[in-house]
Amino acid sequence: MPSESVPFKNLVDISFFAEKIDLALSTISYGDKPAELYDPIRYIMQLGGKRLRPLVTLLAGYLFQDDVQKCIKPACGVEIFHNFTLLHDDIMDKAPLRRGKPTVHEKWNHNIAILSGDVMMVRAYEQFLEVEPAKLQKVLKLFSSCAAAVCEGQQLDMNFETRDYITIDDYLHMITLKTAVLLGFSLELGAILNGATEHDAKLLKNFGINVGIAFQLRDDLLDVYGDQTKFGKQLGGDILADKKTFLLLTALTQADDKQKEILSRFRNNTAAAAEEKVREVTQVYTELDIRAQTEAKINNYFEEAIQCLNAVSAPENRQALLRNLALQLMEREN
């Protein structure tokens, strides 16, 4: 396939790469028959999303070569894998909606959701198979380790629902596996494919892991302190669902007896009025300055990420694309 260099080098921006991803994803053929198996794959892949992971694969590749052609199919593999995890997670979480639309197990049924997800994992692996033979084993080992880690993270997340005592470190470990390692792999992938040194590839992986953790903490924060006019979901959803977020776990370690009493009174209390529960728990967070503490933690991870990125040997104007993207993620309101 003839490859295409990046035109107007000084003008290139993220949308240039995003369009490449959208085009590539739109041309993937998942299969036809039986329709019950393949329609759900097209459905979930067309629900959209930020395409963040394949985008950073291309941006990471662009740090080392103008031409990102050979990164595109593997980047799609990461996106298919990510959507596979969403599909199976939605079954496990009994989620009715995904991006405002019925989830696959709601629109079709549980069995179809399980089996379509299984094929998605196969299709994800297939996207990697055009990687040059000398790098194929390495890339697939990293992808497989990452894929298993994501499953470990999901299992830990489920375990935490019924476990009484979870430390902040437990939580950070869980979100690292469930969310951050895939972002780290996405970056490492682009770096490896486009000839980065081992050192630079690992720096980019760490950039991704740190951004990923900060991203999840930002999620936790927005659920409580987001702007309802901009936030896509109802504020306080995590509080109502008794989710053990960074905010709650931090509050539990610092609460005095009165605050502990409030937190424990509302915990797993389905009889409590929703508005009151959100208000009272948020009040405890506010008394303990949990918002500032969470923002500080997010900043720590973000700073660590930026240091990794800055240490990569690549043109500054290309690093800026990834830096700006990370900044956008940190400042997002939804």
Binding site for a second copy (CB under 8 A): 31, 33-34, 36-37, 88, 91-92, 110-112, 114-115, 117-119, 121-123, 125-126, 129-130, 133-134, 136-137, 140-141, 144, 147-148, 151-152, 154-156, 158-159
Q: Are 328 and 212 in contact (CB under 8 A)?
A: no
Choice between 100 and 133, CB closer to a second copy: 133
C-beta of 147 vs 193, nearer to a second copy:
147
Query: Nearer to a second copy by C-beta: 15 or 109?
Result: 109
Going by C-alpha positions, the residue among 91, 68, 77, 49 that lies closest to residue 7 is 68
Minimum CB separation of residue 87 from a second copy in Å reads 10
User: HSE of 118 in the Cβ direction (CA atoms, 13 Å)?
Assistant: 7
Give 179's DSSP letter. Answer: I
How near is the Cβ of 175 to a second copy at its closest, in Å? 15
Contact 298, 221 (CB under 8 A): yes
Distance CA 270, CA 272 (A): 6
Least gap, CB of 274 to a second copy (angstroms)? 26
**CB of 280: closest distance to a second copy in angstroms?**
31
Judged by CB, which is closer to a second copy: 112, or 168?
A: 112
Q: How many CA atoms lie within 13 A of 311 on its CB side?
A: 16
Provide the minimum distance between the beta carbon of 29 and a second copy in the complex, in angstroms, as a whole number.
12
Judge contact between 128 and 74, C-beta under 8 A. Answer: yes
Cα pseudo-dihedral 49, 52, 54, 57, rounded to 10: 180
**Which residue number, 81 or 285, has a Cβ lying nearer to a second copy?**
81
In order of 165, 175, 218, the CA distances from 169 in angstroms are 12, 10, 17
Nearer to a second copy, 34 or 96 (CB): 34
Q: Output 123 or 244, the one with its CB closest to a second copy.
A: 123
- What are the φ/ψ torsions at residue 157 (nearest 5 degrees)? -55, -45
Q: Minimum distance between the CB of residue 164 and a second copy, rounded to whole angstroms?
A: 16
Q: How far is CA 261 from the centre of its chain?
A: 34
| Ramachandran angles phi, psi of 98, nearest 5° | -135, 120
Nearest to 60 by CA among 194, 181, 182: 194
Q: At its nearest, how many Å lie between a second copy and the CB of residue 278?
A: 27
Compare residues 117 and 208 and give the one whose CB is closer to a second copy: 117
The candidate with the shortest Cα–Cα distance to 91, out of 110, 115, 78, is 110
State in angstroms the smallest separation of the CB of 56 from a second copy.
Answer: 22
According to DSSP, residue 97 is labeled E
